[in-house]
């Protein structure tokens, strides 16, 4: 229990530091746009393009479909199992900058999906790996900057997304 308390205390410290940083207002504007890129529409577009290119025989598409079939259920089980309150509910006198789609924060689904897609696409298209990982990191950071996640929500989302992507690649190849 002491470990969980220490992690939460660290989370609140890092979250508060970012929210109170002098450049936070500028970050919030940019973060709204970056966060929207992780809402899911781009993933559907990528899958449609991959399908259009080679149909269901497309290995990247097969890996993405397998990964999402694992990631989404695991995400819902963890989110509803841990039931960690979002910063707005956990911290007095704080209001997030956007309205989240659900009640709980752990893990970050935006971050999980972004890192999963970045890892999958980066594996099959290596030239895109670094830009995609940077994008995924920005998606995760934007969720903290917008006040809907704590840093460890992002960290666990990142690990979860990469792990599921690597597992899916191993199953397809």
For residue 123, indicate whether it is catalytic: no
Task: Give the chain's radius of gyration (CA, Å).
Answer: 17
Residues 6+ apart with CB under 8 A from 75: 107, 109, 112, 160
Q: How far apart are the C-alpha atoms of 98 and 35, rounded to whole Å?
A: 10
Catalytic member of 8, 53, 110, 123: 110
H helices of 20-150, in order, are 24-36, 41-54, 59-82, 87-90, 109-124, 129-145
Q: How far apart are the C-alpha atoms of 140 and 112, rounded to whole Å?
A: 8
Q: How far apart are the C-alpha atoms of 144 and 100, rounded to whole Å?
A: 12
For residue 110, indicate whether it is catalytic: yes
State the DSSP code for 41: H
Q: How far apart are the C-alpha atoms of 82 and 122, rounded to whole Å?
A: 31
Catalytic member of 8, 24, 123, 149: 149
Among all residues, which ones are annotated catalytic?
Answer: 110, 149
């Amino acid at each position: 229990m002491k470990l969980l308390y220490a992690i939460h205390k660290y989370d609140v410290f890092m979250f508060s530091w970012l929210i109170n940083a002098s450049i936070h207002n500028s970050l919030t504007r940019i973060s709204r746009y970056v966060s929207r890129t992780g809402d899911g529409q781009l993933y559907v577009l990528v899958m449609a393009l991959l399908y259009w290119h080679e149909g269901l025989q497309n290995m990247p598409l097969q890996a993405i479909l397998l990964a999402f079939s694992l990631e989404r259920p695991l995400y819902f089980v963890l989110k509803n199992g841990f039931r960690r309150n979002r910063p707005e509910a956990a911290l007095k006198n704080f209001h997030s900058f956007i309205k989240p789609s659900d009640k709980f924060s752990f893990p970050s689904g935006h971050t999980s999906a972004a890192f999963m897609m970045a890892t999958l696409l980066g594996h099959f298209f290596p030239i895109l790996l670094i830009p995609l990982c940077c994008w995924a990191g920005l998606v995760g950071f934007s969720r903290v900057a917008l006040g809907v996640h704590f840093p460890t929500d992002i960290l666990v989302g990142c690990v979860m997304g990469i792990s599921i992507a690597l597992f899916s690649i191993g199953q397809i190849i």
